[in-house]
Structure 1
Amino acid sequence: MLHQAVRREFRMLAELASWAPADDAGRAADLTGHAALLARVLLQHHTTERELLWPALFRGLPAREENAARDAVAYWTSRAALLDHMLRDLSTVARQWAVAATPPSRNAFARACARVADNVDAHLTAEERDLLPLVGQYLTDAEWTTVSRVATTTLSGREQLLFLGLALEDACAIDRARLLAGLAPATRTAWRVVGRRNYRAAVVRLRGAPPAA
C-alpha cells in the first residue's frame, strides 16, 4: 500500500507542477512540501528495509534460497542508493523553484518529479517481484512484529495521518481493514476524529479535487 501511494503521488506531482503558476509562492510551497513528505517517507522506508527487514529475512531463509536472495538484495541496494540520491536532488530543485519562481525552475521541478516517479516504479516493481514473495514466505510473525516495533519515523503525528490517508485511498476493502486493524487504538481514533477530515482538506488543496475514496 505504501508502494502504491508513492507511485501515484510522485506521478501526480509531476503533472500538477507542470501547469502550476511558476510565480505562485503558495502553490509552489504546497507541491514542494508534498514532494518533501514523500521523499522522507521513502528514505525512511529504505532505511527500515536495509537495517531491519532484509537482515530479519535472511535469518529465516533456507540455505537453498540464500544465494538468490543475496543477489536480489544487492540489486535492491544499488537501485535504492540511486533513488535516495535522486530524492535528495529533488529537494534541491524544489528550493530553486521556491527562490527563483520562474517557469524554468518550475519545469525543472516537474521533470525531476517525473524522473523520480519512473525510478520509483522500476525500483518497487523489482522489489515486489524478487523480495516481497520471500518476505511473505519466510519472515515469521515474530520477526515481523520485531521489525514493526523497532522501526522509527521522524514524521509528525499530522504527517503520519496524512500518509495513512494516502495509503488508504486506493486500497481495496480488505487491505483497508487490515491496515486499520494493525494501528494502535489511539491512532485509529485520531484518524476517525480528525485525520480523515484533515486528509480530505489537504488533498483538495493539493489536487483541486477530493480524494478518490
Structure 2
Amino acid sequence: MTTLLPGQAAAPAGPADLSMMYVLHHGFRRDLARFVEAVHLTPLDERRTWRALLERWDLFARLLHDHHHKEDEHLWPLLRAKVDTAGDRAAARVLDAMESEHAAIDPLLEAVHSGFSSLAGAPSATVRAGLAADLARARDDLGAHLGHEERDAIAIAILQRYVPGEEWSDVERSKFRGGLAPGDLVRLLPWCVEDLPEDVSGPLLAEAGLVFRAVLRLGRPRFGRLERAAFAHVPAGVGA
C-alpha cells in the first residue's frame, strides 16, 4: 500500500507488505481524535453516552494492547536478532525506544479508562478536565510512537531492510493474525475499515476472502450502533 492514510508518517515501497499495519495505525489515530472531541463535546449529564464511550474505549484499548503485545512478543525479537547479527547499533537503539514507548503508553490507557468509568457513573467537571488532559497526552504520545515506528522501525530502517517479503508474510500469517476472542474479532473488522478510503479497503477485503467479508457484514450493525452512541456529539469526519 503506497497511499498515505491520515496522519501516517511514511509508507515507502519495500519487500514486506505492511498494509494491515498501516490500517491498524489509522484506526488508532482516528479513534484518539474522536475521543478527544467527544470528551469536550459530550454533555456531562448524558450518562448513556459516557457509558458508550467507556465501552468504545475498552474496545480501542484491547485492540491496541493486542497489537503491541504481538510486536513485543514476535516482531521486536525477530528484528533484534537480525540487527544484532548485522551489528547495526542504530537499529538496536530504535528497537529499545519502541519497547520503552510501549511501556509508557500502558498507564495512559488505564488513566483514560478510569476517567470514562467515573463519568459513566456520575457527572464531574473536574474528572472531565483530567480525562481531557489524559486523552490529549495519549493522542500525542501514541501519535509520536506510531510515526516513529513508521519512519524508523518499520517502514525504512529495519523491517524493510532486514525482513524479506516472504518471511514477513509468514510472520504476519502465523503470529499477527488471530489471538483475539471471537467477539473482538467480529468488532475488529468493522473497526479496521471505518473511514478507510475505498481504494485502500476494497483491495484489502478482496484479498481477505469470503470468510472475512462475512464476518465484516456480521459485525457492522453492532459496531455502528456503538459508534453512533459513543460519538453522538462528534462532528462527522473527525479522524477520517
Normalised to the residue count of structure 1, the TM-score between the two structures is: 0.83
Partner of 2:15: none
Partner of 2:54: 32
Q: Does 1:128 align with 2:150?
A: yes
Q: Does 1:180 align with 2:205?
A: yes
d(CA) in 2 for partners of 1:178 and 1:62? Answer: 36
Q: How many residues align?
A: 211
Could you say what the CA RMSD is over the residues aligned between the two structures, in angstroms?
2.7
| CA spacing shift, 1:20–1:156, aligned 2, 3 Å | farther
8 Å Cα contact 1:53-1:147 kept in structure 2: no
Alignment partner of 2:228 out of 204, 208, 212: 204
Percentage of matched positions with identical amino acids = 26
Partner of 1:42: 64
Deviations 1:136-174 (A, max 9, x none): 3432323442343234434443x3333322322343344
Q: Does 1:52 align with 2:78?
A: no
Map residues 1-213 of structure 1 onto 2, 5 A cutoff: 1-61=23-83, 63-64=85-86, 66-133=88-155, 134-140=158-164, 141-151=166-176, 152-157=178-183, 159-181=184-206, 183=208, 185-192=210-217, 194-208=218-232
d(CA) in 1 for partners of 2:128 and 2:215? Answer: 36
d(CA) in 1 for partners of 2:235 and 2:38? Answer: 15
Q: CA deviation at 1:15?
A: 0.9
Q: Which has the higher contact order (CA 8 A, sep 6+)?
A: 2
8 Å Cα contact 2:39-2:128 kept in structure 1: yes
Larger helix proportion of the pair: 1
Name the aligned partner's letter for residue 65 of structure 2. L
With 84-93 and 42-51 compared, the bigger mean Cα shift is at: 84-93
Structure 2 unaligned spans of 5+: 1-22
Name the aligned partner's letter for residue 225 of structure 2. A
Name the aligned partner's letter for residue 42 of structure 1. L
Name the aligned partner's letter for residue 135 of structure 1. L
8 Å Cα contact 1:20-1:27 kept in structure 2: yes
| CA spacing shift, 1:98–1:198, aligned 2, 3 Å | closer
Q: CA deviation at 1:60?
A: 4.6
Structure 1 unaligned spans of 5+: none
8 Å Cα contact 2:56-2:226 kept in structure 1: no
d(CA) in 2 for partners of 1:205 and 1:2? Answer: 22
